[in-house]
Amino acid sequence: MNQSFSMGPIARIRSDFATKFGVPRQSGLVDSLEATIVFEPEFRNPDALRGLEGFSHIWLVWVFDQAVRKDWSPTVRPPRLGGNTRMGVFATRSPFRPNPIALSCVKLAGMEQTAYLGTVLRVRGADLMDGTPILDIKPYIPYADSHPEALGGFAAAPAGETLEVVIPPDLLERVPEDRREALRGVLAQDPRPHYQDDPDRVYGFGFAGMEIKFSVAGTRLTVQDIEHKNG
């Protein structure tokens, strides 16, 4: 029996990433990253959030809206395996899926009442681009959602920080203090595509209204320039 379901966003996230380049590959890898969840006007009812303040973490169900395709493939190339090995799409968290739906666990850092946007949620450790549509929010329940004995397959261990990050002092001064730790964390995760390893190449990505340019030689990442996009 064929069925289709109509869904729309209940909220959107406001994060420091204008593009997918630089976004952590999983949620929770960079805890110092802060983002804000802003509800769509029809969902700005404070009653819908009653009781949420008692939870430390929440699940975000969201859409890979920048990766929507008409067709799908039963296998994909996970970056975790260097982009050279094919695995079944349902054994990965690839954005290229029959239904482009994602799931992220983030820390609930606070709930704030605003004059124009209603109650917004401050979260930490999100792996979403700015403007990403969120379909649902659910509380993380430790006794049901945590399984320490679970097997992790080919992604059993977290990637962790892989690079030493060097930011010259004069460039670091261009970064707001409340963004420095998060920027270091993002860079330490090695935001480059896994199949690229060119020490002479300068990479760039947008972060918190800045253009971050860097190069990588061995295990050392050096920031070459930081420009504010508004001049």
The mean per-residue pLDDT over the stretch 135-154 comes to: 92
The verdict on 43 and 130 lying in the same domain is yes
Q: Are 76 and 86 in contact (CB under 8 A)?
A: yes
The verdict on 51 and 90 lying in the same domain is yes
Question: Could you give the maximum distance between any two Cα atoms of the chain, in Å?
Answer: 63
The verdict on 170 and 56 lying in the same domain is no
Final residue before a domain boundary, out of 132, 154, 176: 154
Rounded Cα distance, 213 and 206, in Å: 9
In a domain, 110, yes or no: yes
As a whole number, the mean pLDDT across the chain is 90
C-alpha distances in angstroms, 13 versus 89, 103, 117, 131, 229? 26, 14, 13, 5, 21
List pLDDT tens digits, range 3-24. Answer: 888 899 999 999 999 988 889 8
The verdict on 168 and 101 lying in the same domain is no
CATH of the domain at 24: 2.40.30.70
pLDDT at 160: 57
In a domain, 205, yes or no: yes
In a domain, 3, yes or no: no
Instruction: Give residue 152's identity as a one-letter amino acid code.
Output: G
Picking from 189, 8, 44, 47, the residue whose alpha carbon sits closest to that of residue 120 is 44
The verdict on 144 and 182 lying in the same domain is no
Q: Please tell me the least confidently modeled range out of 30-34, 116-120, 192-196.
A: 192-196
Picking from 10, 128, 124, 152, the residue whose alpha carbon sits closest to that of residue 57 is 124
List pLDDT tens digits, range 91-119. Answer: 988 888 899 999 999 999 999 999 999 99
Q: Is residue 144 classed as helix, strand or coil in its secondary structure?
A: helix
Per-residue pLDDT at 231 exceeds 60: no
Instruction: Give residue 16's identity as a one-letter amino acid code.
Output: D
For the chain, the domain total comes to 2
The verdict on 30 and 77 lying in the same domain is yes
The verdict on 187 and 224 lying in the same domain is yes
Final residue before a domain boundary, out of 124, 154, 184: 154
Q: Are 17 and 129 in contact (CB under 8 A)?
A: yes
List pLDDT tens digits, range 127-138. Answer: 999 999 999 999
In a domain, 5, yes or no: no
The verdict on 80 and 171 lying in the same domain is no
The verdict on 106 and 185 lying in the same domain is no
The mean per-residue pLDDT over the stretch 21-48 comes to: 93
Please classify residue 156 by burial: count the beta carbons closer than 10 Å to its beta carbon, then call 0-12 exposed, 13-18 middle and 19+ buried: exposed
Record the tokens describing residue 207, joined without a space.
């972060």
Backbone angles phi and psi of 224, in degrees to 5: -95, -30
Final residue before a domain boundary, out of 154, 174, 209: 154
Please classify residue 62 by burial: count the beta carbons closer than 10 Å to its beta carbon, then call 0-12 exposed, 13-18 middle and 19+ buried: buried
The verdict on 26 and 139 lying in the same domain is yes
Rounded Cα distance, 92 and 78, in Å: 7
In a domain, 79, yes or no: yes
Domain that holds residue 144: 11-154
Q: Is residue 229 classed as helix, strand or coil in its secondary structure?
A: coil
